[in-house]
C-alpha cells in the first residue's frame, strides 16, 4: 500500500522518465582540453537561498545534474559510470591519512574498467582515459583541488572535455541504458508486490538519505542478515519488487526527503518531510492535487500560514474538508543498514484538515497573543530543559505531530512529560498550558467525523478561566495563583522567591501537606495587603472565598494523580492569566478561532 | 471436491501479519492474510488429504496499531550443524544471543477480531477411506470443543489466536477501502531450474463493507503461469 502509493506519486509527478538516469548534486567538474591536459576543476556549489530574514548560515549546495543512475554499494568495490567520488573517479583520497591505502587504487581501477568497457569510439572518452593514465596530470588536478579548499569524501566528480560534459554524450548514454537492462537478466520473473505483474525482481533497492543513517543513504527495503529471510528465499527475493516499481518508489522517497529536488523536466520541488527530532523524520504526501501537504512543514515554525490555508474561503474550509483523496504519513528513522518505518498512517486530506482545525482550536489557550497560533517547535521546546529538542523523549514529537494530523488520544507518558516539566520549572508556560488542553481535549471522543456534521455540539475544555468548575484539582490550582497574587500585593513584586517557587511541586502533588500552611500565611498577607492596597486585598479576599466555597472544605486531598496534576496546572494558569488583564475586559477567546466552533459547549 | 462453508472467528490481543517489503523492521498488513488464516485453521485440523481455502475475511473490530521494539538476533540456526548433532557426530556450537543482538521495531495490530468464511478441498493425497463429510464433521467437532493440534497464532508465534465458531454477523459495514496487493499464499515447491524456490503470490485486496473477498488460489495465479514452472 505504501510502496504502491509512493510509486503512484512518482508517476503522477513524473519523477522517473528514464530509469537508467537520475538527478544528483555533482560538486566538481574536471575540465580537460581535447588532448587530455588538465585545465581546471570547477566547484559548482553555491550558497542555498534562505528565506528573507533568516539568520541561518546558508549551506553550500552543489549543482544538480542528470547522471547515470548510481548503483549503491555496500562494503565491496563497485564503480559507478562516468560520475563518482574522488576515490573512484580520480584515485585521490579526501583524507591525507588514507593516501597510501591500496584500496584506493583498486577503486580507481574499477572506475577505469567500467570506462574501458564502454564504446571506445567516443573521442572524449579516450581523452579522459589519457588524462587518468597520466600521473602528472592527476597530480596537477589534486593540487588544483587542494588550492580550492579540498573536497569531501562523498563529493561527486564528473568530466568535461573541450567544454562537452561526458554525461551528455548520447553514445555513452545509450550504452548505459543497454548495460542496465542486461544486468537484471538471468533471473526468473516473480509477481511484483507493487504492481502485481510477473517481473524480474530488483536485486538491490536504491537508497535515499534520511536522518540517523549513513550520509550516503540507505534503502527502505533490505534483508541484510539471514535471520530476516524466510521460505528459503535470499535477499530481496523476500520482497519481490520489479526494477521499474523499485526505481519509482525510491525516487518518490528522494523527492519527499531531499532539500532540493529537480524533476527530469526541470521542475524544482519542495520536500514533503519534517525532521521531528533526532533520527526521526515524518514523510507525508497526498494523492490528489491538494496544497495542504506543502504547507504542513510550516506547522513547525509558521503555523499561521497553515491556519490561513484552512480557513481561506477559496482554497480551505469547505474545499479542503471535503477532499477525500488519500493522505499518507510515514514516520521513518534511519538505522544501520536500512530505514525503519516506525509508524504509518493513512487517511484523507479532508480528515487531516479537520484534525488540524481541532488541533489549532485545542492549543489556542488564553494568552497574550491568541491571534498567533503556537508553532510546533515552541510546543515541543516547552517540554524539555532549555528548549533543547534533542532531549525530548523519543516518541513525544512524533506523538504531537501525528495527533495534529490524525487525532486520537495522547498518551499518559506525554502528559507526564508536561507535568514533570511544570514541576521542574515551578511554572506553567502558555505552551504547556496549550499542551495540557490538547491532552484533555484528546480524551473527549470526537463526534463530528464528517465535515457536514461540524455543526454538531462538541464538548470542549474551556480555554480560559472556568468559574463554574467544581473540580477540586482545578480549584486548588486557582487557589495557588490567588495566594501568589496576594503575596505580591502584600510584599511587593520583586521577591527573590515567591511562595510558588517554594511550593509548586508539593502543592501540585500533595496539596494536603502544603495548603493548610499556605492558608495561614495568607491571613498575614491579607492583613498586610489590606493596609497597603485595600481595594485589591478585598477583591482577592472575595476570590479566595469563592474558591474555598467551591472546594467545600472537606480538607485538601492528600495526593493528586497525574491527570489531576494536569488539571491543577491548568487551574493555576487560567487564574493567573486573569490577573494580567483589566477586570472589565472579557476574554478574547474567539478571535483566532475557525468559524466552526460557534456552538461549543463547555464542560467542567 | 470441496466442503461446505465454515464460519470461524479468530481473535487475539496482538497480531503481526508482516508485509514482505517491511519484514526486517516488521510492519503489519491492516488485516489477516489468507495464508495466516490458513495457518490458524490448520492448527485446528489438517491432514494431507485436505487443503484449506479462505474465501472471505470479515473485519469485526476497527484496525488499531501497537508499536514496540524487541531484542532479536541476526543469525539463523545452521541446518547442517543441527543435522550433524542429530547424527551424533558433533554437538551444536554454543550460541549466545546477547553477542548477536539486533534491535528490531514492530508495528503490530492490537485487539484483532476476524470472521473467516472458509472451506477445504480434497487433495490427490486423499486415500480410499477419506471423504468430505468425514473431515467436515471432524472439523466441526474440534472447533466446538476447542481442540487444536498446536497453539494457533496471529502472524508470529508469540501472538496466540483464539478460535471459535462464528455466527456470521458483526462485520464493520462502514469500513471500505483498497488495501493494495496483499500476500495470498506461498507457492511452495515451485521449481527454478532444479532448485526449489518458493514463490509468494499476491492479490489486490479490497475491504468492501467490512469484508475482503479472497480470490481462489487458481484465479490468483499471475498473468504468466508458464514462468512459474520452468
**Can you spell out the DSSP letters for A480-541?**
HHHHHHHHHHHH-S--SS-HHHHHHHHHHH-HHHHHHHHHHHHHHHHHHHHHH-HHHHHHHH
Residues of chain B found within 8 Å of residue A224, distances taken between Cβ atoms: 24
Q: Determine, for residues A1 and B179 on separate chains, whether the beta-carbon distance falls below 8 Å.
A: yes
Average pLDDT over residues B156-169: 94
Percent of chain B with pLDDT over 70: 93
Percent of chain A with pLDDT over 70: 89
- Closest to A193 (Cβ–Cβ): which among B21, B30, B224? B21
* A604 has a pLDDT exceeding 50: no
Residue carrying the nine cell digits 554437538: B91
CA distance B176 to chain A (A): 12
Question: pLDDT, tens digit, for every residue of A382-410?
Answer: 998 888 877 888 788 999 999 999 988 89
- Closest to A239 (Cβ–Cβ): which among B21, B197, B230? B21
Decide: B81 and B93 in contact? Cβ < 8 Å: yes
Q: Determine, for residues B107 and A4 on separate chains, whether the beta-carbon distance falls below 8 Å.
A: no
Coil, strand or helix: which one is A522? helix
Per-residue confidence at A459, pLDDT binned at 50, 70, 90? low
Residues of chain B found within 8 Å of residue A194, distances taken between Cβ atoms: 181
The pLDDT of residue A598 is: 36
Q: Determine, for residues B107 and A233 on separate chains, whether the beta-carbon distance falls below 8 Å.
A: no
* Helix then strand then coil, % of chain B, to nearest 5: 20, 40, 40
- H helices of A185-284, where? 243-257
Tell me the C-alpha distance between A91 and A314, whole Å.
58
Per-residue confidence at B220, pLDDT binned at 50, 70, 90? low
* A224 has a pLDDT exceeding 50: yes
The pLDDT of residue A101 is: 80
Q: Determine, for residues A342 and B67 on separate chains, whether the beta-carbon distance falls below 8 Å.
A: yes
Nearest chain A residue (CA) to B199: A190
Identify residues of A whose CB sits under 8 angstroms from chain B CBs.
1-4, 188-191, 193-194, 196-198, 220-233, 237-241, 335, 338, 340-344
CB-count burial class (<10 Å; 0-12, 13-18, 19+) for A129: middle
Q: Determine, for residues A191 and B200 on separate chains, whether the beta-carbon distance falls below 8 Å.
A: yes
Q: Which of A246, A204, A373, A393 is nearest to A300 (CA)?
A: A373
Which of B17, B24, B74, B77 is the best substitution to test chain A (most A C-beta atoms within 10 A)?
Answer: B24
CA distance B38 to chain A (A): 16
CA distance A230 to chain B (A): 10
The string of DSSP letters for A394-428 reads: TTHHHHHHHHHHH--PPPHHHHHHHHHHHHHHTS-
How many Cβ atoms from other residues are within 10 Å of residue A33's Cβ? Answer: 13
Residue carrying the nine cell digits 556549489: A45
Residues of chain A found within 8 Å of residue B72, distances taken between Cβ atoms: 227
Residues of chain B found within 8 Å of residue A227, distances taken between Cβ atoms: 72-76, 102
Which of A193, A218, A339, A445 is the best substitution to test chain B (most B C-beta atoms within 10 A)?
Answer: A193
Nearest chain B residue (CA) to A334: B25
CA distance A186 to chain B (A): 11
* A555 has a pLDDT exceeding 70: no
Nearest chain A residue (CA) to B190: A190
Per-residue confidence at B197, pLDDT binned at 50, 70, 90? confident
Question: pLDDT, tens digit, for every residue of A333-375?
Answer: 987 777 888 888 888 888 898 888 888 888 888 887 777 888 8
Nearest chain B residue (CA) to A331: B107
What is the model's pTM?
Answer: 0.80
Decide: A432 and A414 in contact? Cβ < 8 Å: no
Tell me the C-alpha distance between A313 and A315, whole Å.
6
Q: Determine, for residues B186 and A231 on separate chains, whether the beta-carbon distance falls below 8 Å.
A: yes
- Closest to A188 (Cβ–Cβ): which among B188, B192, B198? B192
Question: pLDDT, tens digit, for every residue of A160-176?
Answer: 888 888 888 888 888 88
CA distance A256 to chain B (A): 19
Identify residues of B whose CB sits under 8 angstroms from chain A CBs.
20-25, 27, 30, 65, 67, 72-76, 102, 105, 107, 178-181, 183, 186, 188, 192, 196-204, 222-224, 227, 230
- Closest to A190 (Cβ–Cβ): which among B65, B183, B199? B199
Q: Determine, for residues B198 and A233 on separate chains, whether the beta-carbon distance falls below 8 Å.
A: yes
Question: pLDDT, tens digit, for every residue of B44-97?
Answer: 999 999 999 999 999 999 999 999 989 988 888 888 889 999 998 888 888 898
Buried b / exposed e along B193-206 (16+ C-beta atoms within 10 A): eeeebebbbbbebe
Residues of chain A found within 8 Å of residue B174, distances taken between Cβ atoms: none
Residue of higher predicted confidence among A122 and A330 = A330
Tell me the C-alpha distance between A462 and A437, whole Å.
8
* A439 has a pLDDT exceeding 80: yes
Percent of chain B with pLDDT over 90: 59
Residues of chain B found within 8 Å of residue A197, distances taken between Cβ atoms: 222-223
Coil, strand or helix: which one is A215? coil
Question: pLDDT, tens digit, for every residue of A183-202?
Answer: 555 567 788 889 888 888 88
- Closest to A198 (Cβ–Cβ): which among B73, B105, B227? B227
Residues of chain B found within 8 Å of residue A343, distances taken between Cβ atoms: 65, 67, 107
Per-residue confidence at B165, pLDDT binned at 50, 70, 90? very high
In eight-state DSSP terms, residue A454 is G
A534-551 and A472-491 are packed helices; what angle lies between their axes, rounded to 10 degrees?
160
- Closest to A341 (Cβ–Cβ): which among B22, B76, B192? B22
Which of A188, A280, A449 is the best substitution to test chain B (most B C-beta atoms within 10 A)?
Answer: A188
Q: Determine, for residues B223 and A198 on separate chains, whether the beta-carbon distance falls below 8 Å.
A: yes
Amino acid at each position: 500500500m505504501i510502496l504502491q502509493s509512493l510509486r503512484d506519486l512518482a508517476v503522477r509527478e513524473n519523477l522517473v522518465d528514464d530509469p537508467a538516469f537520475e538527478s544528483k548534486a555533482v560538486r566538481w567538474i574536471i575540465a580537460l582540453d581535447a588532448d587530455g591536459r588538465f585545465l581546471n576543476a570547477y566547484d559548482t556549489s553555491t550558497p542555498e537561498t534562505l528565506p528573507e530574514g533568516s539568520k541561518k548560515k546558508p549551506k553550500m549546495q552543489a549543482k544538480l545534474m542528470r547522471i547515470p543512475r548510481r548503483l549503491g554499494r555496500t562494503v565491496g568495490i563497485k564503480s559507478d559510470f562516468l560520475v563518482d567520488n574522488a576515490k573512484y573517479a580520480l584515485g585521490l583520497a579526501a583524507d591525507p591519512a588514507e593516501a597510501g591505502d591500496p584500496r584506493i587504487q583498486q577503486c580507481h581501477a574499477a572506475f577505469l574498467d567500467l570506462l574501458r568497457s564502454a564504446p571506445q569510439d567516443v573521442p572524449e572518452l579516450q581523452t579522459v582515459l589519457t588524462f587518468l593514465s597520466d600521473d602528472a596530470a592527476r597530480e596537477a588536478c589534486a593540487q588544483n583541488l587542494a588550492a580550492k579548499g579540498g573536497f569531501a569524501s562523498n563529493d561527486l566528480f564528473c568530466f568535461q572535455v573541450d567544454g562537452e560534459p561526458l554525461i551528455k554524450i548520447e553514445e555513452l548514454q545509450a550504452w548505459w541504458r543497454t548495460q542496465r537492462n542486461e544486468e537484471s537478466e538471468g533471473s526468473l520473473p516473480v509477481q511484483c508486490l507493487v504492481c502485481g505483474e510477473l517481473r524480474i525482481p530488483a536485486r538491490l533497492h536504491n537508497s535515499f538519505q534520511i536522518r540517523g543513517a549513513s550520509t550516503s543513504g540507505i534503502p527502505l527495503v533490505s534483508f541484510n542478515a539471514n535471520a530476516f529471510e524466510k521460505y528459503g528465499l535470499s535477499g530481496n527475493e523476500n520482497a519481490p519488487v520489479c526494477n521499474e516499481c523499485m526505481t519509482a518508489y525510491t525516487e518518490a522517497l528522494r523527492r519527499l526527503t531531499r532539500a532540493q529536488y529537480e524533476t527530469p523536466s526541470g521542475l524544482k520541488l519542495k520536500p514533503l518531510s519534517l525532521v521531528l527530532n533526532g533520527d526521526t523524520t515524518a514523510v507525508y504526501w497526498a494523492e490528489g492535487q491538494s496544497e495542504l501537504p506543502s504547507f504542513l512543514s510550516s506547522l513547525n515554525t509558521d503555523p499561521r500560514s497553515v491556519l490561513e490555508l484552512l480557513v481561506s474561503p477559496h482554497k480551505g474550509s469547505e474545499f479542503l474538508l471535503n477532499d477525500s483523496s488519500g493522505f499518507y504519513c510515514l514516520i521513518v528513522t534511519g538505522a544501520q543498514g536500512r530505514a525503519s518505518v516506525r509508524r504509518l498512517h493513512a487517511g484523507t486530506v479532508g480528515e487531516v484538515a479537520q484534525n488540524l482545525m481541532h488541533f489549532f482550536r485545542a492549543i489556542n489557550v488564553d494568552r497574550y497573543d491568541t491571534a498567533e497560533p503556537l508553532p510546533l517547535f515552541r510546543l515541543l521546546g516547552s517540554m524539555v530543559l532549555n528548549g533543547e529538542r534533542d532531549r525530548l523523549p523519543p516518541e513525544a514529537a512524533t506523538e504531537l505531530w501525528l495527533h495534529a494530523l490524525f487525532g486520537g488520544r495522547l498518551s499518559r507518558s506525554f502528559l507526564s512529560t508536561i507535568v514533570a516539566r511544570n514541576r521542574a520549572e515551578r511554572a506553567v508556560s502558555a505552551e504547556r498550558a496549550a499542551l495540557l488542553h490538547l491532552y484533555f481535549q484528546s480524551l473527549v471522543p470526537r463526534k463530528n467525523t464528517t465535515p457536514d456534521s461540524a455543526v454538531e455540539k462538541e464538548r470542549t475544555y474551556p480555554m480560559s478561566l472556568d468559574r463554574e468548575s467544581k473540580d477540586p484539582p482545578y480549584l486548588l490550582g486557582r487557589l495557588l495563583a490567588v495566594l501568589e497574587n496576594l503575596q505580591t500585593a502584600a510584599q511587593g513584586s520583586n521577591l527573590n522567591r515567591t511562595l510558588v517557587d517554594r511550593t509548586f511541586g508539593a502543592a501540585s502533588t500533595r496539596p494536603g501537606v502544603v495548603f493548610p500552611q499556605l492558608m495561614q500565611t495568607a491571613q498575614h498577607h491579607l492583613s498586610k495587603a489590606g493596609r497597603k492596597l485595600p481595594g485589591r486585598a478585598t477583591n482577592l479576599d472575595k476570590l479566595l472565598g469563592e474558591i474555598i466555597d467551591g472546594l467545600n472544605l472537606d480538607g485538601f486531598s492528600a495526593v493528586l494523580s497525574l491527570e489531576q496534576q494536569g488539571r491543577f496546572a491548568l487551574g493555576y494558569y487560567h487564574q493567573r492569566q486573569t490577573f494580567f488583564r483589566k477586570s472589565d475586559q472579557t476574554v478574547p477567546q474567539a478571535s483566532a478561532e475557525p468559524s466552526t466552533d460557534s456552538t461549543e459547549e463547555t464542560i467542567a | 471436491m470441496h466442503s461446505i462453508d465454515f464460519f470461524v472467528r479468530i481473535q487475539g490481543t496482538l497480531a503481526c501479519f508482516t508485509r514482505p517489503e517491511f519484514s526486517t523492521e516488521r510492519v503489519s498488513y491492516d488485516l489477516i492474510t489468507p495464508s495466516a488464516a490458513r495457518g490458524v485453521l490448520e492448527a485446528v485440523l489438517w491432514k494431507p488429504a485436505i487443503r484449506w481455502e479462505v474465501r472471505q475475511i470479515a473485519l469485526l473490530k476497527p484496525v488499531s496499531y501497537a508499536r514496540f521494539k524487541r531484542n532479536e538476533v541476526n543469525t539463523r540456526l545452521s541446518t547442517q550443524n543441527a543435522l550433524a548433532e542429530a547424527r551424533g557426530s558433533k554437538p551444536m556450537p554454543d550460541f549466545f544471543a546477547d553477542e548477536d543482538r539486533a534491535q528490531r521495531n514492530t508495528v503490530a495490530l492490537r485487539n484483532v477480531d476476524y470472521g473467516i468464511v472458509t472451506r477445504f478441498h480434497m487433495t490427490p493425497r486423499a486415500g480410499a477411506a477419506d471423504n468430505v463429510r468425514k473431515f467436515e464433521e471432524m472439523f466441526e467437532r474440534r472447533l466446538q470443543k476447542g481442540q487444536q493440534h498446536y497453539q494457533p497464532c496471529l502472524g508470529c508465534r508469540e501472538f496466540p489466536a483464539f478460535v471459535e465458531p462464528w455466527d456470521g454477523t458483526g462485520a464493520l459495514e462502514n469500513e471500505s477501502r483498497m488495501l493494495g496487493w496483499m500476500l495470498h499464499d506461498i507457492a511452495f515447491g515451485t521449481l527454478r531450474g532444479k532448485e526449489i524456490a518458493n514463490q509468494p503470490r499476491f492479490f489486490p485486496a479490497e475491504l468492501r463493507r467490512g469484508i475482503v473477498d479472497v480470490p481462489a488460489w487458481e484465479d490468483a495465479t499471475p498473468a504468466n503461469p508458464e514462468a512459474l514452472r520452468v
